Copies of this chain bind each other. A is one copy, B any other.
Amino acid sequence: MSTAGRADRVRSRMAAAGHEALLVSDLTNVRWITGFTGSNGWVVIDHEGLTLVTDGRYGVQAAQQLAAAGVVGEVLVGATTTDTQAHLAALCGRHDRVGFEAEHVSFAQHARWAAAFDTELSSAGGIVEAERRVKDADEIDAMARACRIADQALAEVAPRLGEGLTEAQVRNLLEVRMRELGATGPSYETIVASGPVNGALPHHRPTDRVITAGDLVIIDVGALVDGYHSDMTRTFVTGEPTAQQQELYEVVLAAQRAGVAAVAAGVSVKQLDGVCRGIITEAGFGDWFTHGTGHGVGLLIHEDPFVNRAGDAILQVGDVVTVEPGVYHGGFGGIRVEDLVVVTSEGCRVLTASPKDSLCPPSPPTI
C-alpha cells in the first residue's frame, strides 16, 4: 500500500497548528505515515523531510518498508536506547521547537527527552490521528477484503453451532478459516459468548463451555488484512428462540438498523449513539445497553472516532466506524448486532454483509 502522500497531509495539519516539526512516537502513526511495522521506531517530520529512527533489529526492514510504501526518507539505527535518543535529539535539534505526541509519550519519557534535548518540546495532540481517521481507497479496500473473509468464515461456521461445540472450538474454527481465506490473522481475539452467564459479558473470552440448545450466542469476529481490521457481531440462538429472546433481538436489531441508517457526514457521534440508545431505552432496556454504540476501525481495532454519549466528534466522509448496540443481563445473556460502515458522500456503505434478519443460525453454504 502506498503511503507516499500521507507525510504531506501531516505537514499541512502541522502547519495549521503552528508546528515546524513533529516527533511521532505512536507506532500506529509511524506505520500509517511510513509503512514501517516494527515494534520500535519514531519519525521526525518537518517541512523538508522525514527520518525514521529505530534499533538494530529493524534497520534493514525499515529501509525496505519505506521504499515499498513509496516514502522518501532517511532511516537511522541506534544500537541502544541511548543511541536512538541521541539520534532523536540531533534531529529535533535542527528546530527551536518540536511538537511531540502528548497522548502517546509517557510522562517519564517526556521528562527524559526534556532533559536531553536542546529543543523545546511542545504538546501536539491528534495531528496524525486527524488525518489517519480519514481512510483512502486502498485502506477501505483492505478493510472490505477483511470483512468478506469474516463473512465467509461465519457463513461456514455458524451453521455448526448446534453440534455441541465449545465456545473455544467455535473461535478456533473461525480463526483458522479466516487465515485459510487469506487473513494475516484474526482482527482481535474472536468473542464467542454463550448462554445466560457468559453472554452477559460484552467482552467475554471464549471458554470450554459447551454451547447448548436454547443458548443465545454472541459471535464478534473480524479479520486482519494488510494491517487493517474488520469488526462484526452477530447473535444466534441454538434451537427455537424464546419470546423474550425474540423480543429483545428485535429491539436491538431495530436500534442497529436505525443507527446504520443515521450514519452520514455531519452527524455527531452523540446523535448517532442517541439514535440506537433511544430505541433500546424506549423499549425499557436502556440499563442493559452498557457500552457505547461504536468506534472507528483502521490500523487499530479501536480508534477515532468513538461513538458514544460523551464524544464530541462529527462524522466525516472516509470515517470507518462500527454500529453495535447490545443488551446484556446476568441470567438472560446478551444480544449484540454490529456492522462496519464507511461514511460516504451519500450516507454510508456497509462493509460487512452477514445476514442479520434472524436469530437462527444460517444454513450451511451450498458449494
Contacts and interface: CB of A to CB of B under 8 A. Distances in A.
Contacts of A185: 189
A224 to B, nearest CB: 10
Contacts of A302: 39
Contact of A203 (B61, B204, B328): B61
Contacts of A328: 60
Contacts of A95: none
A106 B309 CA distance: 24
Contacts of A56: 290-291
A6 interface: no
Interface stretch (A9-17, A107-115, A157-165): A107-115
Contacts of A109: 103
Nearest to A110: B107
A137 interface: no
A355 interface: no
Contacts of A274: none
A308 to B, nearest CB: 7
21 contacts: A38-B203, A55-B291, A56-B290, A57-B202, A57-B203, A57-B290, A58-B203, A59-B290, A60-B328, A61-B201, A79-B309, A80-B309, A100-B107, A103-B107, A106-B106, A106-B107, A108-B125, A111-B123, A172-B180, A184-B205, A185-B189
Interface in A156-193: 172, 175-176, 179-180, 184-185, 189
A205 B202 CA distance: 32
A105 interface: yes
Instruction: Please name the 5 residue pairs, one residue from A and one from B, whose CB atoms are nearest each other, closest first.
Output: A56-B290, A80-B310, A102-B108, A102-B107, A57-B202
A82 interface: yes
A37 B125 contact: no
Nearest to A108: B102
Q: Which of A37, A108, A111, A175 has the most CB of B within 10 A?
A: A108
A94 interface: no
B106 A39 contact: no
Contacts of A189: 184-185
Contacts of A60: 200-201, 328, 330
